[in-house]
Structure 1
Amino acid sequence: MLSEKNIENINSGKTRGYSVEKIINNINYFLEYAIKKSEGEYICYFFSIPCDQMDVMEDSESDAKIERFESLEEALKFIQINGGEFDRFSAFKGVKPI
Structure 2
Amino acid sequence: MDENDRYERARKRVENLKAFYIHLTVYVLVNIMLIIINMVTEPNELWFIYPLVGWGIGLIAHGLSVFSVGLFGPAWEEKKIKEYMDKDKRK
Structure 1 length as normaliser, TM-score?
0.25
More helix as a share of residues: 2
More strand as a share of residues: 1
Higher relative contact order (CA 8 A, sep 6+): 1
